[in-house]
Chains A and B, each alone.
Chain A
Amino acid sequence: MSISAPFHKYDDVCGERAGVEGAKRRRVDAGYRRGGATKPSARPVATRRVDGGCGRSLRWLSSKMAQHRLPPPALISPHKPHLQTSSYLWNGTLRLCFRLVSFVFLGLTIVSGAPRQQIATSSDPTALDLASLLGQFGEEPSAAQLGRVRDWLGSHQPGQWEAAFDEVLKLTDSRPVHDLLIQESHRRKHHASARKRLSTLSDNNPSTPTYLVNLVQLEILAGDGKRARGHLRSAATRFPKLAQIHSDLGQWLFDHGQGDLAFAELLRAQSAGTLPPRAALVLASMEATVGAYKDGIDTASSIEKRSDLPAPVRAEAAALTGKTYALARQEKDAARYLEQAIELAPEVEDYYLSLAKVHQQSQSEGDALAVLREGHGRLPEAQGLGVALARRLMTAGDFNTAIGILSGISNRSPDQLEALSLLAQAHRASGNPKLATQTWRRLAQHQPRYPMVHVFLAQSLSEEGASNAEVLEALKTAEATSPGDSDVYYLRGRVYNEMGQHEEAVKELTRAISMQPNIPSPYYQLGLAYQQLGQEELARKQFEKKERLEGATSGR
């Protein structure tokens, strides 16, 4: 079996031409040329495809041998002497045994007509010829293909890991495969050996960025931020103009929860060249988030302007531009871009919601309502839009329409708890405390720990005219689930006042006030309690406080 990979000369990747040494290696930097394609333009290809059924049979057999801790045939191939993991003698003996058994097995297979199909579809990892497999990869390896590489890696014992690691690096410059290799090194806790090998490769190939990228990935996975930063600084010094490497790193770091480092790399990529759309939008979000609105707007709108991109991508860019304008309090521009986003992708619920928020921010309640109506008309199943529209309708006093929308949502999706909560409030506001109580009960049954649900239920019961005992029982549950909610004590104080238990009322209301001293209503109830207890002076003070607070509130 003869395997070879095409070797290409390096391109000039960072102002210096790689030497002969580099030219002998794979073209690992192909994807990182300035402004170049994101994928390597050339890949190692097996010049001779692995044979058919018999070959598979052999590999299937060898896999069985590997189960008994024998190295897979690829590792003892004479064409990969660097992968030998044991002594030549041991390998030679193994090879001899293996071939003997193989021939016997092959003979048996031919004679007996063994089920070739079964052998051919064996998924045993060591049955893989890695070079062959990698040679079949397209630009983006499929999950199944990567799974097979993972299996191949998994078939190696700890002592064979370094050889397997080198084999992968030697055979492919595929980023997903390298990512996988680093992940597997991390999973198997082979950080030290992987670090050593990658560092050596990086030092020996100073114009090749791949190894630095792998080192960053390895250190991030290993949780060594200090080392990772060091490698990132090296990458910045050695490859300042390679936008692609910084963009790839930025996206990888972003996907691995390293927000700050991702931000740094995406900024570097942007200053070095053009960012791919996804990376640009991530960067724009980050710029907007840290308050660099102008930068965020520039970055996002540059994507929105690109007519060569698909409409959904441009819509995302337009929406992000609009949202950033909204953060910068430039509502007109925000609305303009969000309208554009809706035009480009009318099926995205978020754009209507964002545009409605912008209108709300600029006090255009009517426009906000119109946008939500439009969105709800186009996307009647979108729950977020329905809830937002219902909320706005309630604010506008149109409870019946809101109830219709919310009933529809809560019937379709009983898990939409916000809709249920709003529905209860809508029933209450439209003068139907019984329906409100029913809805709160439904919500409480469905999600007993929903914030304040028992408080609202108690309030609703109280308004519905339920017995004081029933209200107190509901408040008991409310206290257990929301002990920090002053409303529990306020409501209980009010009930005690109604029941004529004014001393108890004073206790409860004092507690409510100590928890929330700036709310007027408990002072009023406390004043009533003191009045009934004959403490006129104290009662007067409470009423005064209530008046003062109400004045302060209304003056705001």
Chain B
Amino acid sequence: MLEDKAASGISRRRWFSRLLGLLPSAGFLRGWKQGLAAPLLQSAPAQDQPAHLQNDRVIISPLQEVKGTITPTARFFMRNHHDQPELSLKSWKLSIEGNVSKPLELSFSDLIESPSVGLESVLECSGNRTGLVSNGAWEGVPMSYLLKAASPASDATRVLLEGADSGSLMKDQPAFPFARIVPLEKCLAPESMVALKLNGQFLPQRNGFPARALLPGWYAMDSVKWLRRIVLLGGLDWPESYYGSGMDLLYQRWVKQGGREQVTSRVSELLVNSGIAFPSPGENLGAGQHSVWGFAWAGPRAIRATEVSLDKGRTWKTAKLETDSRPFTWVRWSYQWSAKPGKHTLMSRAQDGTGQWQPSRRPPERTDGYELNWYASVNCVVA
């Protein structure tokens, strides 16, 4: 405690000056220290290593570290298919091509100087059960602006979003870039953007620097990171990076019917879901009053209600919504719990604006690993 502080002096209060260490000195870069540096330098990734790095391709995002509603950038979840590419701004371009009459090749500068929009939005991995969901304040260029500038052909109905990361999805396959195909309609939606910033800073490399697609309200696999190509597709177009790589087989709903497994539809829009931030799993608590809290989200729909169960789902209590409920972002909820000694299982569930509640369990016919949105639950011990 005090000893810890003494050991590090009072330097914990001087984090900002440490960040400024990158700067050239002696006023040679006059102006840098006076405002510009702060927002830029705070994103210096080496000073901002995520604490919950599972491995090179996964970072778990702990809900309890969210202050307010925004997940700190260093705590933002990450789930990659391939290794992160290291891109040079000198050579990186975003091309918009395919069924367009004016193909474009945009530099990072072009994107920065394009009209921009901002939006608070949840990103959730389609395989999230816990820790693969975060909420950020995004800024970027409306995808509709870029697509319209390229003048899509009238038969363009789908868009291939291709990243700069590549690898093999299946054994003995050549490497293909990560790519997703989404309907043109979603790309033209006002919330869809080519995101350049997260929480006021340029994207960290692990989250898609220099630019990523952001399709708010959809599961995160379609928000392609390290975006480098946007290809407008007609109905008969058959891009190899998508179909040849096996990507078309991923993110589909598989169901078992009559002893056979089959694909029924594509995973896209977020389902209503919730998570408990406090208590965290296995936490030991003292008896008494505790504020149980967490988040609830429903993609493009707002949250109508959130409930908490203290008895493994037998009875439910209404939780208080602490923040405004809006589409795309999440709402913070809380419930005042008088904890008595013993082992407890707390659960949460949310209802979206259409009246849809989270399910109590996984539909038994589903055999894929996506849309795992049944009740959230946490075990804890009260002493």
Chain A residues with CB under 8 Å of chain B are 226, 229, 232-233, 236, 254-255, 257-265, 267-268, 270-271, 278, 281-282, 285-292, 294-295, 298, 312-313, 316, 319-320, 323-324, 326-329, 348-351, 353-354, 357, 391, 418, 421-422, 425, 428-429, 451-452, 455-456, 459, 486-487, 490-491, 516, 519, 521-522, 541
Closest A residue to B197 by beta carbon equals A260
- Contact check, A289 vs B89: say whether CB atoms are below 8 A apart: no
- Contact check, B46 vs A295: say whether CB atoms are below 8 A apart: no
Q: How far is the CB of B229 from chain A (nearest CB, A)?
A: 20
Contact with A along B206-239 (1 / 0, CB 8 A): 0001100000000000000000000000000000
Q: Decide yes or no: A289 and B108 within 8 Å by CB, A232-B113, A391-B9 being known contacts.
A: no
- Contact check, A271 vs B29: say whether CB atoms are below 8 A apart: no
Q: Which of A260, A265, A294, A490 contacts B1 (CB 8 A)?
A: A490
Q: How far is the CB of A182 from chain B (nearest CB, A)?
A: 18
Q: Which of B9, B39, B44, B113 contacts A288 (CB 8 A)?
A: B44
A295 partner residues in chain B, CB cutoff 8 A:
88-90
A286 partner residues in chain B, CB cutoff 8 A:
40
- Contact check, B5 vs A254: say whether CB atoms are below 8 A apart: no
Would you give 9 A-B contacts (Cβ < 8 Å), ordered by A? A255-B31, A289-B43, A290-B40, A312-B26, A391-B9, A418-B10, A425-B6, A452-B10, A486-B1
- The CA of A346 and the CA of B1, in the complex, are separated in Å by 39
- Contact check, A261 vs B113: say whether CB atoms are below 8 A apart: yes
Contact with A along B103-115 (1 / 0, CB 8 A): 0000111101111
Q: Which of B2, B4, B30 contacts A255 (CB 8 A)?
A: B30
B26 partner residues in chain A, CB cutoff 8 A:
312, 316, 348, 350
A326 partner residues in chain B, CB cutoff 8 A:
46
B110 partner residues in chain A, CB cutoff 8 A:
233, 236, 264
B205 on the A face (CB < 8 A): yes
- The CA of A257 and the CA of B40, in the complex, are separated in Å by 11
- Contact check, B32 vs A487: say whether CB atoms are below 8 A apart: no
Q: Decide yes or no: A455 and B2 within 8 Å by CB, A267-B107, A291-B209 being known contacts.
A: yes
Q: How far is the CB of B50 from chain A (nearest CB, A)?
A: 13
- Contact check, A268 vs B107: say whether CB atoms are below 8 A apart: yes
A233 partner residues in chain B, CB cutoff 8 A:
110, 113-114
B98 on the A face (CB < 8 A): no
- Contact check, B43 vs A290: say whether CB atoms are below 8 A apart: yes
Main SS at interface, chain B:
loop
- Contact check, A236 vs B44: say whether CB atoms are below 8 A apart: no
Q: How far is the CB of B101 from chain A (nearest CB, A)?
A: 18
Interchain residue pairs A-B with the least CB separation, the first 7? A264-B109, A264-B112, A350-B25, A327-B46, A259-B36, A291-B45, A289-B40
- Contact check, B41 vs A289: say whether CB atoms are below 8 A apart: yes
B21 on the A face (CB < 8 A): yes
- The CA of A287 and the CA of B31, in the complex, are separated in Å by 17
B6 partner residues in chain A, CB cutoff 8 A:
425, 428-429, 456
Q: Which of B5, B43, B112, B205 contacts A261 (CB 8 A)?
A: B112
- Contact check, A421 vs B9: say whether CB atoms are below 8 A apart: yes
B202 on the A face (CB < 8 A): yes
B24 on the A face (CB < 8 A): yes
A351 partner residues in chain B, CB cutoff 8 A:
25
Q: Decide yes or no: A354 and B21 within 8 Å by CB, A267-B109, A327-B46 being known contacts.
A: yes
- The CA of A295 and the CA of B91, in the complex, are separated in Å by 10
B31 partner residues in chain A, CB cutoff 8 A:
254-255, 257
B37 partner residues in chain A, CB cutoff 8 A:
285, 289
- The CA of A291 and the CA of B289, in the complex, are separated in Å by 44
- The CA of A429 and the CA of B108, in the complex, are separated in Å by 53
B22 on the A face (CB < 8 A): yes
Q: How far is the CB of A343 from chain B (nearest CB, A)?
A: 16
Q: How far is the CB of B86 from chain A (nearest CB, A)?
A: 7
- Contact check, B23 vs A259: say whether CB atoms are below 8 A apart: no
B5 partner residues in chain A, CB cutoff 8 A:
452, 487
- The CA of A353 and the CA of B383, in the complex, are separated in Å by 49
Q: Decide yes or no: A287 and B89 within 8 Å by CB, A323-B22, A418-B10, A459-B2 being known contacts.
A: yes
- The CA of A329 and the CA of B21, in the complex, are separated in Å by 15
Closest B residue to A260 by beta carbon equals B112
- The CA of A494 and the CA of B158, in the complex, are separated in Å by 68
- Contact check, A451 vs B13: say whether CB atoms are below 8 A apart: yes
- Contact check, A291 vs B43: say whether CB atoms are below 8 A apart: yes
- The CA of A287 and the CA of B204, in the complex, are separated in Å by 12
Closest B residue to A300 by beta carbon equals B24
- The CA of A351 and the CA of B113, in the complex, are separated in Å by 35
- Contact check, B21 vs A281: say whether CB atoms are below 8 A apart: no
- Contact check, B1 vs A516: say whether CB atoms are below 8 A apart: yes
A422 partner residues in chain B, CB cutoff 8 A:
9
Q: Decide yes or no: A259 and B24 within 8 Å by CB, A291-B204, A452-B5 being known contacts.
A: no
A316 partner residues in chain B, CB cutoff 8 A:
24-26, 28-29
- Contact check, A290 vs B32: say whether CB atoms are below 8 A apart: no
B35 on the A face (CB < 8 A): yes
Closest A residue to B23 by beta carbon equals A285
A357 partner residues in chain B, CB cutoff 8 A:
21
Closest A residue to B28 by beta carbon equals A316
- The CA of A521 and the CA of B112, in the complex, are separated in Å by 51
Known: A226-B115, A259-B36, A291-B43. 10 other contacts (CB 8 A): A233-B114, A254-B32, A255-B31, A259-B39, A268-B109, A281-B28, A285-B22, A285-B29, A295-B90, A487-B2
B173 on the A face (CB < 8 A): no
- Contact check, A229 vs B114: say whether CB atoms are below 8 A apart: yes
- Contact check, B9 vs A456: say whether CB atoms are below 8 A apart: no
- Contact check, A289 vs B44: say whether CB atoms are below 8 A apart: yes
Q: How far is the CB of A58 from chain B (nearest CB, A)?
A: 42
- The CA of A114 and the CA of B30, in the complex, are separated in Å by 48
Q: Decide yes or no: A521 and B22 within 8 Å by CB, A327-B46, A428-B6 being known contacts.
A: no
- Contact check, A348 vs B25: say whether CB atoms are below 8 A apart: yes
- The CA of A521 and the CA of B1, in the complex, are separated in Å by 8
- The CA of A357 and the CA of B22, in the complex, are separated in Å by 11
A522 partner residues in chain B, CB cutoff 8 A:
1
Q: Which of B13, B32, B90, B383 contacts A285 (CB 8 A)?
A: B32
Closest B residue to A288 by beta carbon equals B22
Kindly identify, within residues 35 to 89 of chain B, every residue whose CB is under 8 Å from any CB belonging to chain A.
35-37, 39-41, 43-47, 86-89
B109 partner residues in chain A, CB cutoff 8 A:
236, 263-265, 267-268
